[in-house]
Amino acid sequence: MRIIGNDPSVPRQTHEVASGTLPNGKPVIVNADGTVSSVGESAVSQAVGTPVQFDSSNTYYSSVAYDSVNNKIVVVYRDLGSSSYGKAIVGTIDAANNSISFGSATTFNSAFTNDTNIAFDSNAEKFVIVYRNHGNSQYGTAIVGTVSGTSISFGSAVVFNSGSTEQNGISFDSTSNKVVLAYTDAGNSNYGTAIVGTVSGTSISFGSETVYNSGYTLYNDPAYDSTNDKTIIAYHNGGSSPYPPSAIVGTVSGTSISFGSATAIQAVNGNYTSAVYDSTSEKIIVSYRNENNSNYGTAAVGTVSGTSITFGTPVVYNSAGLYHPRAVYDSTNNKTVIGYSDQGNSTYGYAIVGTVSGTSISFGTKVAFENNGIDNNPWLGGTFDSTNGKVIFSYRIGSSGIGKAVVFQNAGTETNITSENYIGITRSGAASGAGAIIDTQGAIADNLSGLTAGQSYFVQTDGTLGTTAADPSVFAGTAVSATKLIVKG
């Protein structure tokens, strides 16, 4: 007999053992042990891992970034125990226990190094490190790093500013595939200056410098707004009394950047500015210390429109003085986490979680991540591990100078579905440990409801079916009627 189309002799069902109760007509995954479970979510509690040393000697200016390709973090810093050379070290996050393991440190600058910062270029799959090179007249310098396993190697260093360069900030523009550097040009009246860099292989080239603040500028921190395709730089404007925390919108075009008008976030003396982009609310959050209000930790929500930015009413999140707040956006749980050194609690390291609503932000209760005093001079680094859904902070212990890093886990939910483990729809319900029949690829699951014929459906993280892809994106199948779905293709 000649068969046209699907061969009816090919099995389109599988009989497997249930792990947990399986309802009828629900998406199913296969577990590592070969059992099957319903797709669903479970609660995750807020947690802090045990701080881990990345360098046992005296460290300064640690900064950290996440490599989304190799699923690694890289910490950069000045190593006082090694002639103040610039060092970088690769870390691996263990999501099961919120721990970090580190490889061996690699020197990227064999000279006195300051003002280190780092960003990951996801297009080139490279890290870009910026620093002030005291071995070359304190010039602003950048170098490209490549991670392999638990080590990192470097190309040749490139000078981007032939003058004393301080307070280096860096971000990655994922639309133009450029990095944007923001810094204080001490060779040009300490003006706030920006420059665009392009990574090619293991090297980086730069366009021309652009001044964005013609006054004394500190704490330059750029963040990329992917919705509006803009880079927003937060900074301390020392050229305009009362020296307010400020922000300005930059537009990258080719290898140059242009700016709109600056906005003072609050008419106070505010420093330690830190900016981050919330991709869910499509807002910029800027954290800073308000010196006119007892050095309290304060944050404000910014909205970009064209080449300008406006801010909602600032919110106090720490009713005590603080040092070097670092804002990190957790895209898994749609929260902003701010880490800082709390003057009201022996300069211990604390983190607090913020939720944006409209043009405001509300905060939960702060939680300690380091029960030793964090040094109040070099900045605190922060990044988000988007694979494991973790926030990582790097910092220096004030009493010993030891460099440490710690994992912070937000409260939220996690799903058991991945981009690979979906196998089909349950044909019949089953108790845990019992056999279950699963309609697999090519089968018609006819025990559903509420479908629209001709519509594609995706598995949602909570185990329902929806017409838009979730994260991860898992195609469930195409409906042929209100009750029938051709499973996965």
Alpha carbons 129 and 133: distance in angstroms, whole number: 12
Q: Is 80 exceeded by the pLDDT of residue 1?
A: no
Model pLDDT, residue 410: 97
Q: Binning pLDDT at 50, 70 and 90, where does residue 11 land?
A: low
Q: Where are the domains of the chain?
A: 13-40+422-487, 44-414
44-414 to CATH, choices 2.130.10.10, 3.40.710.10, 3.40.50.720, 1.10.357.10:
2.130.10.10
pLDDT band at 9 (very low <50, low <70, confident <90, very high): very low
Tokens of 136: 């070359």
**Pairing of β 335-342 and β 27-30:** unpaired
Mean pLDDT for 149-155 is 98
**How far is 357 from 336, CA to CA, in rounded Å?**
12
pLDDT tens digits, 352-363: 999 999 999 999
SS3 333: coil
What confidence category does residue 240 fall into, taking pLDDT thresholds of 50, 70 and 90? Answer: confident
Q: Look at residue 399 in the predicted model and tell me its pLDDT.
A: 87
Largest CA distance in the chain: 89
Sign of the Cα torsion 160, 161, 166, 170 reads negative
Distance CA 424, CA 438 (A): 6
Is the whole model's pTM more than 0.85, yes or no? yes
pLDDT interval class at 489 (50, 70, 90) = low
C-beta neighbour count of 310 within 10 angstroms: 13
What is the pLDDT, as a whole number, of residue 428? 87
Q: What angle do CA 302, 308, 310 make, to 5 degrees?
A: 30
Percent of the chain with pLDDT over 70: 98
More confident position, 429 or 227: 227
pLDDT tens track for 259-289: 999 999 999 999 999 999 999 999 999 999 9
Distance CA 294, CA 423 (A): 58
Closest to 327 measured CA to CA, from 370, 273, 283, 291: 273
CB 212 within 8 A of CB 252: no
C-beta separation of 448 from 455 below 8 A: no
pLDDT digit string, tens, across residues 418-471: 999 999 999 989 999 999 999 999 999 999 999 999 999 999 999 999 999 998
Tokens of 52: 């881990």
pLDDT at 362: 98
| Calpha distance 473→412 (Å, rounded) | 20
141 strand-pairing partners: 131, 159
Q: Which pLDDT does position 5 carry in this prediction?
A: 38
Could you give the CA distance from residue 95 to residue 77 in angstroms, rounded to a whole number?
A: 24
